[in-house]
Chain A
Amino acid sequence: MTPAKRYDWLIPTVYAVLTIAALWWSFSDMELTLDRLIKGGAQLSGILRQMSQADWSILPKMGQGLKESVQIAALGTVLAAILAIPFGALAARNLSGVPFVPALGKFLLNFIRAFPELILAIAFIKALGPGAFAGVLAVGIHSIGMMGKLYAERIETVDKGAIEALTATGASPAEVFRHAIVPEVLPDFLSFALYRFDLNVRAATVLGLVGAGGIGTLLDLQRKGGKWETIGVILLGIIVTIGLIDHFSAQLRAKLA
C-alpha cells in the first residue's frame, strides 16, 4: 500500500464531519422539533385537500394579476437593458483606458446587485406610493447589476481589430463604440435581456406581497383570508406562466446565438 493510499479515508471523513457540524450549528435554536413538523405536516395535508377543491372563479382576477406581473417584468427589463449600457461600458477593462474606472464600475454594479428587488420595492413604495410603478423601478434598478456585469464581460471579449481600425481612422471613442462594438455585441445583449426577463417575471410575481403590483397582490390577499381553494389555482397560473415564458425565451435565445 502506498502512503498516499493509506490516508484515502481522511479527506472524505473530514468533509463529512465538517458538513455534519455545519448542519448541527445551523439547526441550533431553529426550534425545528419533530412535534412541530408533524403538526405542520398535518396542516399541510389539510391545505392540500383544500387546494384540490379548486375554486376557478378566481381566473379573471388571476389573469389580470399575471398580466400585470409580466408587464412589470418587461418594462423593468427594458429599463435595465438601457441603463446598464453606461455601467457595462464603464466596467469593461478594454474601453475607457483609464486605470481605476473598470474597478469602480464593477464595484458600482456589485453595490446595485446587493439591493434585492423586494427591498427596493419597499423603499420605492415609501418614496413614490404603492403600485406597479414602484415594482417596475425595483425590478429595473436591481437588474442593472447583473446586466451591467454581463455587458462588461461581453465588451471585454470584443474583436480588437475593428476597434483598432476605427481608431486609426481618427474616430472618437463614441464613434468607436457605435460602429465597432455595438454591431458585434447587440445580439448577445438582446440574449442577456431575454434571460433577465425570465428572472424578472419570477421577481414580479413576488413584488405584490409587499404592495408593488402584480399577481402577488392577489396571492397575499387570498393567503390572509386563508382561501387555499383559490391559492392553488393562482399557484398553478404562476407555474404555467413562468414555464411558458422560460420555454419561449430559451427558444428565442437559441435563435440569437
Chain B
Amino acid sequence: MEDNPAHSARPSLPPPPPFPWQLWAIAGVVFAFLWWSAVETGVNWEAFREGFPELGEYFGRLLPTSENPWPLDYLPLIQEKLIETIKIALGASIIGSALALPFALLGARNLAAGKWVYNLGRGFLNLVRTIPDLILATLLAAVFGIGPVAGLLALTVFTFGIVAKLLCDTIETIDPGPMESVTAAGGSYLERALYAAFPQVAPDFTAYSLYAFEVNVRAAAVLGLVGAGGIGANLQQSISFMNYSRVGLIIFVTFIVVLIIDTFSTWLRSRLV
C-alpha cells in the first residue's frame, strides 16, 4: 500500500501555514497602545465628526473671495520676510556644511585615526541629530534674543548633523586605491583625507549641502513661530489675529517660493551625482 507509485506521485498540497501567533500578538499590543492613547488624548469619532467640518470651513476662509480678497499691499513685507527666511537657510546651510566637511573627512571609518575616534565621532553625530531643530531654536532664542540669529544657529547645528552623517556614510564606500597610493607615497593622515578622499566625494558633498538647504528653507519658514526669525512670525501674528486673507496669502506665497527652490535644487542635484 505505501509503495503504490501512483499514490506517491500525486502532487500533494503544501501543509497549511502555522497560525502567525507572533504577528497577532504584536498587532494586539500596538492596537491596545493606540486605544489607550486615543482615550487619554481625547481622540474619538465624535471629535472627528465635529472637527472636520470646522477645519474645512477654516481652510475655506483662507481662499480669496470678491468681498474678502487677498491683501496684495501686504506683499512687500512678505517679500522682505521671505528673503530673511532664505538668508537664514542659506547661511546655516553653508556654515553647517563647511563644519561637517572636516568632521566627516576625519571621522569616517576608513580614514579615522583609530576606532575610538570613529566611535566618538559617530556617537556625537547621533546625539546632534536627535535634538529637534525647533527645540534648539526656541532655547537659542532665549539665549541670543528673539530674531534670525537663533534660527541661523539652530539650523547650522541641524545642517552639520545631517551633512556630516551622509558624508561619513559616503566616504566609507569610496575606492580605497587612491588612499593606498597616498599612503605608499608617504602621505600623512591629513594628506590622505585631502588628496585621496575629498576629490572622490566632492560632488556628493555638494549634493548633500543642497539637500540640507531644501530642508532648511522649509524649516526656516516656521522658525518665527518660536521667535527665531523669518516669515513664521508674521504668519503666527496673522493667525492669532484671525486675519484669514493675510494667512492665506502668506501660505500661498511661501508655498510657491519653497516649490521653486525645491525644484531648482533637485534639478541641480540630479546633475551632480
Q: For chain B residues 26-66, which have a beta carbon within 8 Å of chain A?
A: 33-34, 36-38, 40-43, 47, 51, 54-55, 57-59
Bound-state CA distance A122–B232 (Å) is 11
Across the interface, which residues of B come within 8 angstroms of A75, CB to CB?
34, 37-38, 41, 43
CB of A19 closer than 8 Å to a CB of B: yes
Contact of A128 among B34, B54, B90 (CB under 8 A): B54
Bound-state CA distance A226–B143 (Å) is 10
Let me know if B143 and A32 touch, CB within 8 A: no
Contact of A30 among B38, B94, B130, B152 (CB under 8 A): B152
Bound-state CA distance A14–B88 (Å) is 23
Let me know if B149 and A23 touch, CB within 8 A: no
Contact of B225 among A115, A209, A213, A223 (CB under 8 A): A209
In the assembled complex, the CB of B231 is this many whole angstroms from the nearest CB of chain A, namely: 11
Bound-state CA distance A124–B107 (Å) is 44
Let me know if B127 and A26 touch, CB within 8 A: no
Interface size on A, residues (CB 8 A): 59
CB of B147 closer than 8 Å to a CB of A: yes
Across the interface, which residues of A come within 8 angstroms of B37, CB to CB?
71-72, 74-75
CB of A59 closer than 8 Å to a CB of B: no
* B128 to chain A: closest residue by CB: A239
Let me know if A209 and B88 touch, CB within 8 A: no
One digit per residue, 1 when the CB lies within 8 angstroms of any chain B CB and 0 when it does not, for chain A 1-28 equals 0000000000000000001001101111
CB of B132 closer than 8 Å to a CB of A: yes
CB of A86 closer than 8 Å to a CB of B: no
Bound-state CA distance A44–B141 (Å) is 11
* B236 to chain A: closest residue by CB: A122
Contact of B251 among A119, A203, A246 (CB under 8 A): A119
Interface with B: A95-103, A130-138, A162-170, which one?
A: A130-138
Bound-state CA distance A148–B225 (Å) is 27
Bound-state CA distance A231–B131 (Å) is 13
- Give the most central of B86, B239, B258: most A CB within 10 Å: B239
CB of B264 closer than 8 Å to a CB of A: no
Across the interface, which residues of A come within 8 angstroms of B225, CB to CB?
118-119, 122, 209-210
- Give the most central of A74, A110, A114, A213: most B CB within 10 Å: A114
CB of B113 closer than 8 Å to a CB of A: no
Let me know if A119 and B94 touch, CB within 8 A: no
CB of B148 closer than 8 Å to a CB of A: yes
Q: Which residues of A contact B (CB under 8 A)?
A: 19, 22-23, 25-28, 30-32, 36, 40, 43-44, 47, 68, 71-72, 74-75, 78, 110-111, 114-116, 118-119, 122-124, 126-128, 131-133, 135-137, 202-203, 205-206, 209-210, 213, 216, 219-220, 223, 226, 231, 235, 238-239, 242-243, 246
Q: Please list 7 pairs of residues, one from A and one from B, whose beta carbons are closer than 8 Å in the complex, sorted by A's number.
A: A27-B87, A28-B87, A75-B41, A114-B255, A127-B51, A239-B131, A246-B130
Listed from nearest, the 8 A-B pairs whose CB atoms lie closest are A26-B91, A71-B37, A132-B41, A26-B87, A26-B90, A206-B134, A114-B255, A40-B144
A sample of 20 more A-B contacts (CB under 8 A), given A123-B239, A124-B55, is A30-B91, A30-B152, A31-B147, A31-B149, A40-B145, A40-B149, A72-B37, A74-B37, A75-B37, A118-B222, A119-B251, A122-B240, A132-B40, A133-B42, A136-B41, A205-B135, A219-B135, A226-B142, A239-B127, A243-B130
